[in-house]
Amino acid sequence: MKKVVKFGGSSLASAEQFRKVGEIIRSDEGRRYVVPSAPGKRYSDDIKVTDMLYDCYHAAAAGEDFGRKMSRIKARYQEIIDGLGLQLSLDEEFAEISENFKNQAGNDYAASRGEFLNGKIMANFLGYEFIDPAGYIFFDEEGVLDAEKTNTCLAERLKDVERAVIPGFYGANYDGTVKTFSRGGSDVTGSIVAKAVRADIYENWTDVSGFLVTDPRIVDNPEVISTITYKELRELAYMGATVLHEDAIFPLRQEGIPINIRNTNRPLDKGTMIVESTCNKPKFTITGIAGKKGFASINIEKDMMNTEIGFGRKVLQVFEENGLSFEHVPSGIDTMTVYVHQDEFADKEQNVIAGLHRAVQPDSIDLESDLALIAVVGRGMRRNRGTAARIFAALAHSHVNVKMIDQGSSELNIIIGVENRDFETAIRSIYDIFVLAQV
């Protein structure tokens, strides 16, 4: 077994957390490649080291004295080193980092040091080789990951390395300077490493026991999803449910390597398996429910709209010209509705209305705001009757008025539009009927 294990910031925020991580790694011979994040929060209003680094560099870039900010960062690492009783000094590294800060090494360089330093500690703690991703993960001139070059170089470098620590979150720009992924990007490093070593599994260790059926801020203690496909995950993630960086999926999806989301604080929990495809039936017909508030709808009416070829294209072109992407476009015989993000639409609404008048001469245009979209997602709904009926019965019982319904041809999801104020009630009632009624 060859496993790549990535640990998030909260799993590495203190010596105590490092110890848990050490036990997890040592308990399984297969856990050979370790990708650490920077130390995260130790308690809820603590500051992540990555944010401390951005802040410190901000001062350095402004020519201010950043000595005290840097000392605070150093203290975070020293606390871990001392707590683990390691014979390790990061003095040289900190001297070099301070020097580079003075020489304006850039925001990305600054932020990447969080993972770099944590990787040094992790390698020392485990007795694993330290490999700096700046030599093996590459971005092209557009700032996009050069996946092919990265995979070739990283695979070659790791070929004969039995065990290694590879810090997450960064690589090298085309000009050799350090470049980071977007926030949360250590997940991406983990997946790149998993691809390069052709891992059997990519374990992503965090502080929750997997992907939850729905948002715990809306439903108390929701069930954990035991297995989810990449496609289902994408639907839910698009609607705001996140445990994993979106770009972490692509490299693995190509290779068919499963991802296992695990909880460092509850290592016996099996977590969530994210897979390409599975015969494993979801426990509750639906896999997950996610949603977002803050949509607006533009309702366009015109007599005989259905006979006008090109009507839809002209309408959508107006949105395109205004730089707006649309979410859903339900239509009737003489009506067409376009759902957009309210905040993006707000500044442009009058331009859009004028544009629509010019483009399609509608009889009327009516705007509605403060709408929410809810996605009910599940491979179990495919070729299975009754799911929609149960969803809408549940909503009716909870007195939720449904404004829009959209089901994709994949039968993987049903999207429901409701008013913002009904959002939580709607999610709770769908959860209740599919999950609570069955456990």
- Residue 303's nearest CA partner among 348, 342, 361 is 361
Find the shortest distance in angstroms from Cβ 208 to ligand ASP. 15
Q: Does 184 bind ligand ASP (CB under 6 A)?
A: yes
Classify 150 as helix, strand or coil: helix
Closest to ligand ASP by CB, 48 or 403: 48
Query: Which CB, 184 or 210, lies closer to ligand ASP?
Result: 184
Following DSSP, what letter does each residue of 356-409 receive, concatenated?
HHHHH--SEEEEEEEEEEEEEE-GGGTT-TTHHHHHHHHHHHTTPPP-EEEE-T
Task: Work out how close the CB of 251 gets to ligand ASP at its nearest, in angstroms, rounded to a whole number.
Answer: 15
- Minimum CB distance to ligand ASP, residue 181 (Å): 7
If one asks whether residue 9 binds ligand ASP (CB under 6 A), the answer comes out as yes
- Among residues 125 and 181, whose Cβ is nearest to ligand ASP? 181
Structure tokens given for 358 = 């010019």
The interface region with ligand ASP, picked from 184-192, 327-335, 359-367, 427-435 by CB under 6 A, is 184-192
Q: Which is nearer to ligand ASP, 106 or 378 (CB)?
A: 106
Q: Which of 2, 102, 183, 313 binds ligand ASP (CB under 6 A)?
A: 183
Per-residue interface string for the shown chain with ligand ASP, residues 254-283, x marking contact by CB under 6 A: ------------------------------
- Of 235, 233, 208, 234, the C-alpha closest to 221 is 208
Least distance (Å) between residue 283 CB and ligand ASP: 30
Residue nearest to ligand ASP (CB): 186
Sign of CA pseudo-dihedral 48, 215, 416, 426: negative
Instruction: For residue 414, list its beta bridge partners.
Output: 376, 407
Q: Determine, following the binding rule CB under 6 A, whether residue 222 of this chain makes contact with ligand ASP.
A: no
Q: Is 167 in the site for ligand ASP (CB under 6 A)?
A: no
- Quote the tokens at residue 122: 């992790």
Pairing, β 364-377 against β 413-419: antiparallel
Task: Kindly tell me which of 9 and 222 has the beta carbon lying closer to ligand ASP.
Answer: 9
Does position 319 interact with ligand ASP (CB under 6 A)? The reply is: no
Residue 20: CB minimum distance to ligand ASP, A = 17
Burial class (CB in 10 A: 0-12, 13-18, 19+), 16: exposed
Least distance CB 402 / ligand ASP (angstroms): 38
Residues 291-310 that bind ligand ASP (CB under 6 A): none
Q: Which CB atom, from 38 or from 427, has the smaller least distance to ligand ASP?
A: 38
CA distance 312 to 330: 11
Query: Cβ closer to ligand ASP: 123 or 188?
Result: 188
CA pair distance 111, 118, nearest whole angstrom? 12
Applying CB under 6 A, among 109, 116, 169, 434 the residue interacting with ligand ASP is 169
| Interface positions, 185-204, toward ligand ASP (CB under 6 A) | 185-187
CB of 269 vs ligand ASP, minimal distance in Å: 21
Nearer to ligand ASP, 33 or 319 (CB): 33
Could you say which DSSP state residue 272 is in?
E
Q: Classify the phi-psi angles of 242: left when phi > 0, otherwise alpha if psi is within -120 to 50, otherwise beta.
A: beta
What DSSP string describes 287-300?
Answer: -EEEEEEEEEEEEE
Q: Does 39 bind ligand ASP (CB under 6 A)?
A: no
With CA atoms as reference, report the closest residue to 202 among 192, 211, 210. Answer: 192
For the bound state, the minimum distance from the C-beta of residue 112 to ligand ASP, rounded and expressed in Å, comes to 9
CA nearest neighbour of 184 among 354, 65, 38, 322: 38
Comparing CB distances to ligand ASP, the nearer of 55 and 334 is 55
Contact letters (x/-) for ligand ASP, 46-65, by CB under 6 A?
A: --x-x---------------
Which residue lies nearer to ligand ASP by CB, 172 or 296?
172
Amino acid at site 196: A
Determine the size of the site formed for ligand ASP (CB under 6 A).
13
Q: Shortest CA distance to 150 belongs to which of 131, 171, 129, 164?
A: 171
Note the helical H segments in 198-335. 230-238, 249-255, 311-321
Span from 15-23, 178-186, 224-232, 330-338 in contact with ligand ASP (CB under 6 A): 178-186
Distance CA 269, CA 257 (A): 20
- Residue ranges that bind ligand ASP, judged by CB under 6 A: 9, 37-38, 48, 50, 114, 168-169, 183-187
